[in-house]
Chains A and B, each alone.
Chain A
Amino acid sequence: MIPDFYKVSLVRQETHDTFTLELEGQDGQPPMSFEPGQFNMLYVFGVGEVPISISSGPGRKMPLTHTTREVGTVTKAMRKLKRGDVLGVRGPFGSHWPVEHAGNGDVIIVAGGIGLAPLRPALYELLSRRNHYGRIVLLYGTRSPDDILYLDELKHWRSQFDLEIHVTVDRAVGSWRGNVGLVTSLIPKAPFDPTGAMALVCGPEVMMRFTVQELRRRGVSPSRIYVSMERNMKCGMGFCGHCQHGPHFVCKDGPVFQFDEIEELFGKREI
């Protein structure tokens, strides 16, 4: 339960309510090794600790990065941190996006809102071994154009032609020329071959539910669909009990689940 203390090297406002922290180890601490989709428990001194997924690429080239939304006491205090401040880190915890099992089929990544943050390491991982995979398709939905995360990066990736990116917003504003509608509406015409395809999905539970439905309608096997769950967490080690989801502890059995493993409980209310 003792965090390692990192130094904040960068604070970046992403959208009106989301921000990114880049961290560096102190005193030659070796970089954290983690898998895409895992999370850390981030501790603001004297305020509290919250689970936040890792958003940097799993290689050693990038600083340890977390993108989160300002929603509660801890994340609000986190937003106020400045370059040079300390932040406690415990982790990494949990299961990961199993991109190593993607084979040479297509990979479909479906993100809703800030759900893109835990998927970003998977994208980095896929792109770092680009020629191992088939088509890589990112379908991303946000509430409005102002809520699009990592906009510059998305533009950069789009210009590389080895990654299909389709973005949609629930509500458009005047200058928006892109898709309007839920992210699920992008699935029927998305350019991928469902045979052997792997899908990684992260967003609000209701978004994931309908996304899985559409993916299955396209013929993606439920054993090849992965979703990332969110629950209250206090320890990250399966002791505190808060993150239980039926038989699973989301902190150690998840947060990434193969869809067919949780299918029975998925979408049931108040699990």
Chain B
Amino acid sequence: MTSPHQGAPHAPSVPSVIEPQGLEQLFAALLRRNYKLVGPTLRDGTITYEEISSPSDLPAGWTDEQQPGMYRLKTRDDNAVFGYAAGPQSWKRILYPSVLRLWQAHRKGGKVEVTVDKPAEEPRYAFIGVRACELQAIGIQDKVFLHGNYVDPNYQLRREHNFIVAVNCTAPAGTCFCASMDSGPRAKGGYDIALTEVILGTEHYFVATAATKFGTEVLGEVECRPANEKQVTAAEAAINAAAENMGRTIDTTDIRQLLNRNFENPRWETTAARCLACANCTMVCPTCFCHNIEDVSDLTGEVAERWRKWDSCFTTAFSYIHGGSVRYSPAARYRQWLTHKLSTWHDQFGTSGCVGCGRCITWCPVGIDITEEVRAIRDKDHSREEV
């Protein structure tokens, strides 16, 4: 799980301390290197990742309240710029756009000429404020799109020059469970620079470490001083407190075997009775990668295009083959999604497909909670004794 462009990561550097004004210098250092900055900002009543240009775009003094089927912004009583959890959109929106034209083709006589869509300039995105759960999610999508038999050139293009400023999470939401998925709140790797925001009384600073050569270079252009023991301890304490304050947990003990032997568990039907099969959970999930390929043509029939669009295993069309959909019942579709995330993902990519960001819980219109589902399946695991 490394940023692809800077070569092998090194051990995180000795922590240094940046004042809030230092963020200006950090942004400037990245802008000088022709990065587009993408980071959290307020939009549509949420905190979402958009193109930003200065630290003043960050949602200073805001936080979020998240519960099953509920998301609400609230003001904080301090001026923290990273004092909230994951919003509705993950970084996959940038690395793996929801709608993308892949090519255009012109038919001339008996020949077809294909023009592949490529951005006018190489995308150079610097992500500001990537949480540990999201780093894990990016690492998982790297496995899907870059590390199999085939490489997705569109993902590769966006990932190649991707600079990552991670933020160790100190403000988990009620729907968060990254600690139990072993994917947070502390960033373990896959970043160039990691920050921990500390607010203690009137003190407000960031403890920063660089984990790549490039990160070290960029951090070198930011005014900072070595962190003293007290500051390092304060940062560690904030992260540890976040781990303690997770709203939710999943017991992952033998979870693959648990789900494999509970294919017929009555819980699937119970949940399907509530599930609207709206696909929200798959859209907000930072690891869901399924998509559709759509071929279209103009009215003359001489110009055709191929588009890639996010798709969801919650639709009946997703599994349609001649004669009908394989997974026609919502129960089967919910089971497919959950068992893929927590069980078959391991078979396919050697990792869980869930990072514990809690988005699927927050953005489910009826508040279906993956952690509660796993618990319920465990409770009704009748085959347990026989196994």
Residues of A within 8 A of B (CB): 1-3, 5, 7, 26, 43, 45-49, 69, 71-72, 84, 86, 88, 230-232, 234-235, 237-242, 244, 246-249, 252, 268-271
Contacts and interface: CB of A to CB of B under 8 A. Distances in A.
B296 interface: yes
Given A232-B326, A247-B347, A271-B326, A5 B111 contact: yes
A240 B150 contact: no
Contacts of A237: 148-150
A238 B110 contact: no
Given A240-B293, A241-B313, A270-B327, A45 B107 contact: yes
A49 B322 contact: no
Closest 3 CB pairs of A and B: A46-B297, A241-B290, A247-B347
A47 B297 contact: yes
B35 interface: no
A199 B222 CA distance: 68
A45 B335 CA distance: 36
6 contacts: A46-B298, A47-B295, A86-B112, A240-B311, A242-B290, A242-B292
A82 B363 CA distance: 50
Given A238-B149, A239-B150, A46 B319 contact: no
Given A234-B292, A270-B335, 16 more contacts: A1-B293, A7-B110, A26-B111, A45-B304, A71-B322, A88-B112, A230-B321, A231-B326, A237-B149, A239-B289, A242-B290, A242-B311, A244-B336, A247-B344, A247-B347, A270-B332
A91 B39 CA distance: 40
Contacts of B296: 46
B103 A2 contact: yes
Interface on chain A toward B: helix, strand, loop, or mixed SS? loop
A246 B347 CA distance: 9
B340 interface: yes
B263 A268 contact: yes
A174 B148 CA distance: 55
Given A240-B290, A246-B344, A252 B149 contact: yes
A86 B304 CA distance: 13
Contact of A239 (B114, B144, B329): B144
B311 A241 contact: yes
B214 interface: no
Contacts of A249: 348
Interface string B316-337: 0011111000111100100110
B152 interface: yes
A191 to B, nearest CB: 34
Given A2-B103, A247-B344, A270-B326, A239 B145 contact: yes
Contact of B291 (A3, A47, A239): A239
A49 B308 CA distance: 13
B306 interface: yes
B114 A240 contact: no
Contacts of B149: 237-238, 252
Given A86-B107, A237-B150, A238-B148, A46 B295 contact: yes
B227 interface: no
A232 B295 contact: no
B255 interface: no
Interface of B: 102-103, 105, 107, 110-112, 114, 116, 144-145, 148-150, 152, 263, 289-293, 295-298, 301, 303-304, 306, 308, 311, 313, 318-322, 326-329, 332, 335-336, 340, 343-344, 347-348
Contact of A49 (B103, B111, B112, B295): B295
Given A232-B319, A240-B292, A241-B289, A247 B348 contact: yes
A247 B303 CA distance: 38
Contact of A2 (B114, B148, B152, B301): B114
A68 B278 CA distance: 34
**Which residue, A237, A246, A248, A249, has most C-beta atoms of chain B within 10 A?**
A246
A241 B291 contact: yes
A210 to B, nearest CB: 18
Output the residue of B152, B289, B295, B335 with the most chain A CB within 10 A.
B295
Nearest to A242: B318
A2 B318 contact: no
Contacts of A248: 347
A72 B320 CA distance: 11
A62 to B, nearest CB: 23
Contacts of B102: 1
A258 to B, nearest CB: 16
Contacts of B336: 244
Contacts of B313: 241, 244
A85 B298 CA distance: 19
Contact of A1 (B103, B292, B329, B335): B103
Nearest to A270: B332
B289 to A, nearest CB: 6
Contacts of A1: 102-103, 293, 306, 308
Nearest to B109: A86
B279 to A, nearest CB: 13
A231 B335 CA distance: 17
Contacts of B145: 239
A237 B146 CA distance: 12
Nearest to B331: A270
A3 B320 CA distance: 23
A99 B248 CA distance: 52
